[in-house]
Structure 1
Amino acid sequence: MPQSVEEHTGARIARIRKQRGLTQQGLAMRANVSKSLLSKAECGQKPASPALVSACARALGVSTSDLLGQPYAEELRRDRMDALIQPIREGLENWDVALDWESAPRPAALIRADVQQALTHRRQAQYTDMVRDLPALIDESVHAVHTTAGDDQRLAYECLAGTFRCVFTVAWNFGYVDLATVALDRLAWTAPRADEPGLAAMHAYLRAQTTMSSGRYDVGMRVIDRGLRDLEGQDARRPGGLEAMRGVMHLRAAVLAGRMKDREHADARLAEARALARTTGELPDFGVTWGPTNVGVHAVAIASEMDDFGRAVELAEDVRIPSGWTRSRAGHHWMDLGRAHAWAGHPEQALDCLQRARRIAPQQTRYHPTVRESVLALKRRERARSSSLARFAEWVGI
């Protein structure tokens, strides 16, 4: 059944807190947050920020997905996405043992073309197409790894790394944190064998992302800084790709600093990223979106996560999304801006932003907890029933 409108993230925190026999003061002390903030989040007066959710999850001994209500099983079943996840779980069981296929694998270059297509689906948030192809691509890449040598084998390892990158994205976005962690471990094993520094940097970038779920932002920052040091002086087949990875890792550090409410550090990291982006321009590689536009949308997102919604709206005025820009990043920007408008008291602008996100990246929008929280906030605050909001809420699953 669709979740109740009252079951926002703050309400889940309250429900699980009571199941643990904790008072608000007790949870606030364990989570190292203010009782006032926790109280307002539980009753829906303030948003349950990602930092608050992570802190409460650690204190309650649950995952952030539990507090966010993920995975959204009913909607996944309705879209038949749940049936596509299990073959991926099975596919990840083997990554290092030769298969008993009698036929030879396709040339690594042909496998790579299909993996690149999967990575394109990932960046465009076309998850159904991507997920459907991944199990076969994992098996074929494993087979190629064990039946080739030299540069063909290195390329096969690169293909395998690309499939694990795709698995991480869909698992993380749909709330299967356990599956995302397995994919990350597989990437850690594969990246060095591909002999491409950019893939090792990708592992650091994604590992830092997982620390956002656990609230260990200090660990994430150290992972990023170590990854940046490891890139220094590296030779690469794709030097532009290394610059892109440097840039997105600075952005990841800025987000981590924002989660820690360290505005000065976040601004410093954004400044480093902005300076690099002025040199490189738009430079997508290794499945990331890098350039001046991405710096701008990250600045908006960080301001929103720090509950500085007015500043987020103001910063968004300077963001111009280029035609043909990555749909996953563009959709995320409109979700972040929609959240900012929702909590700044601008319901019409908020819904407009969420509708834009839906048009650009529908699957990503439908399953993202930020969207659900924003919709729930809008529904609680609406003075007169809005048919547009009701239709959007029904589409999301509320």
Structure 2
Amino acid sequence: MAEHIGQRIAARRRARRMTQADLAREAHVSLPMIKACERGIRSPGPSTLEAIASALGVDASRLDPSYVGTSRSVHAVLPAISATITGYELALEPTGRPLGQLRNDTDVAVGWRLAAQYGLIAKQAPGLLADALAHLHSASGAHIEEAAGIVVAAARTADAVAYKFGAHDLSARLIDVMRWAAAQSEDPDLNACVAYVRAETFLAARTYRVGHIALQKALDEVPAPNTVRSTATLGALHMRTAVVAARAGRADAAYSHLNESRTLAQGLPEGIYLGTSFGPSSVRIHEVAVSVSLGRDHIGRALDVARTWSPGPGIPAERRSGFWIEVAHAQLWSGNPDEAFNCLQEARKHAPQHVREHPWAREDIGKIRRLKRAPAESLTSYAEWIGAV
């Protein structure tokens, strides 16, 4: 049995056929840190442990049995994020972080968000957001548009932890910051991106009809796309509107928006555009989400997709995880608890922290345990890990 965390990291890394360099790159951790941890010279801190665990596709407690999760560290930093945006529209003292460094640090944080590295985000979000706001207030001329984009990206990164960990009021305030910042620029793509994120507010409040109207209004204001980026941001907004329309029970509208996004994705490379993943694979993932959101007669469509296709490693971990959570929901709805559990296990491999905070995953694992007469040890262990028991 492994005696220290480093040996567990090395064993798991070798099992996944990863080199130390592979692990360092996937975890956004330096190669010397990985080497020192595996040799037992250094012990990773909570955020580093979370990053390594996510890259290896396991919960951090598998590497360190004493680990208690990210929830405590995330909730501890939420007041600091809230304080940072209290006077977001006021010009405060200039930041000491150069614009180039801020741009790079924000890009790194966006990568953490897409990889569901919530512990790393929580640690950096308040300072990153404060510096981004300061730069926007001091920007002028052509620099305003770039500074506004950085504020949107920083606020969206902070919103990832607020929204995922249930601080929905704070999430809504962060989205207000994004809307304010986007309005400072003349970039319609940035406004479309913010409208995409704003859908979270309607999903959290379950005001799907209002959300559909608001998103449709945002779509009406987007000019015809003439670049790859504008095509992708419009397509992503249609994609998100399709899900909200489905939650509102408007099947025709949902599939119409989905078809619009599919058309816009044709010939477009799958990629990250203004912090949002879009392309043919992302549209297919949202086809599953739309079908599951509509429920009943539409569930079969989600299962048909999952039988022949699943997202590959080119899709961000959080979105891959979300796909398997949606398919698990469909399997459970169809009376297949064993298959549903297999899907939740697969989801955990891609983004453990995302699964752990997802309400559907926690709800569904509880249902699976009730449906099975004699819960397997692995099912009970999973339920304990996710907090369903």
Q: TM-score, normalised by structure 1?
A: 0.75
Partner of 1:97: 90
Question: Which residue of 321, 329, 334 corresponds with 1:344?
Answer: 334
Q: Structure 1 residues 384 and 234, CA, compared in 2 at 3 Å: closer, same or farther?
A: closer
Partner of 1:140: 131
- CA deviations on 1:139-162 (whole Å, 9 max, x unpaired) are 212222333433334322221121
Whole-angstrom CA distance in 2 between matches of 1:300 and 1:178: 28
Q: CA deviation at 1:393?
A: 0.3
Q: CA deviation at 1:385?
A: 2.2
How many residues matched?
319
Q: CA deviation at 1:121?
A: 0.8
Partner of 1:154: 145
Q: CA deviation at 1:269?
A: 1.9
Partner of 1:373: 363
CA contact (8 A) 2:102 2:128 kept: yes
Partner of 1:64: none
- Percent of aligned pairs sharing the same letter: 30
Question: Which residue of 322, 327, 332 corresponds with 2:322?
Answer: 332
Partner of 1:8: none
Q: CA deviation at 1:201?
A: 0.9
- CA deviations on 1:82-122 (whole Å, 9 max, x unpaired) are 11222211212232223345xx6333232111111111111
CA contact (8 A) 2:88 2:177 kept: yes
Q: CA deviation at 1:312?
A: 1.9
Matches within 5 A, 1:70-81: 79-81=72-74
Q: Which amino acid aligns with 1:362?
A: P
Q: CA deviation at 1:244?
A: 1.3
Q: CA deviation at 1:291?
A: 0.9
Q: CA deviation at 1:79?
A: 4.5
Partner of 1:261: 249
Q: Secondary structure at the match of 1:317?
A: helix
Question: Which residue of 98, 113, 130 corresponds with 2:104?
Answer: 113
Question: Which residue of 181, 206, 210 corresponds with 1:215?
Answer: 206
Q: Secondary structure at the match of 2:266?
A: helix
The higher relative CO (CA closer than 8 Å, separation ≥ 6) is in: 1
Q: CA deviation at 1:365?
A: 0.4
Whole-angstrom CA distance in 1 between matches of 2:238 and 2:145: 28
Question: Residue 172 in 1 paired to residue 160 in 2?
Answer: no
CA contact (8 A) 2:106 2:150 kept: yes
Q: Which amino acid aligns with 2:82?
A: R
Whole-angstrom CA distance in 2 between matches of 1:77 and 1:118: 17
Whole-angstrom CA distance in 2 between matches of 1:213 and 1:323: 28
Question: Which residue of 317, 335, 345 corresponds with 1:355?
Answer: 345
Q: Structure 1 residues 200 and 303, CA, compared in 2 at 3 Å: closer, same or farther?
A: same
Q: CA deviation at 1:260?
A: 2.3
Whole-angstrom CA distance in 1 between matches of 2:142 and 2:131: 17
Q: CA deviation at 1:253?
A: 2.0
Q: Structure 1 residues 352 and 109, CA, compared in 2 at 3 Å: closer, same or farther?
A: same
Q: Secondary structure at the match of 2:313?
A: coil
Question: Which residue of 238, 248, 270 corresponds with 1:282?
Answer: 270
Whole-angstrom CA distance in 2 between matches of 1:302 and 1:153: 37
Matches within 5 A, 1:220-239: 220-233=211-224, 239=227
Q: CA deviation at 1:339?
A: 1.4
- CA deviations on 1:47-72 (whole Å, 9 max, x unpaired) are xxxxxxxxxxxxxxxxxxxxxxxxxx
Q: CA deviation at 1:268?
A: 2.0
Partner of 1:293: 281
In structure 2, list runs of 5 or more residues that go unmatched: 1-67
Partner of 1:393: 383
Partner of 1:11: none
Partner of 1:302: 290
Partner of 1:321: 311
Q: CA deviation at 1:290?
A: 0.6
Partner of 2:64: none
Q: Structure 1 residues 118 and 279, CA, compared in 2 at 3 Å: closer, same or farther?
A: same
Q: Secondary structure at the match of 1:191?
A: helix
CA RMSD after TM alignment: 2.1
Q: CA deviation at 1:77?
A: 7.2
Q: Secondary structure at the match of 1:289?
A: strand
Q: CA deviation at 1:78?
A: 5.8
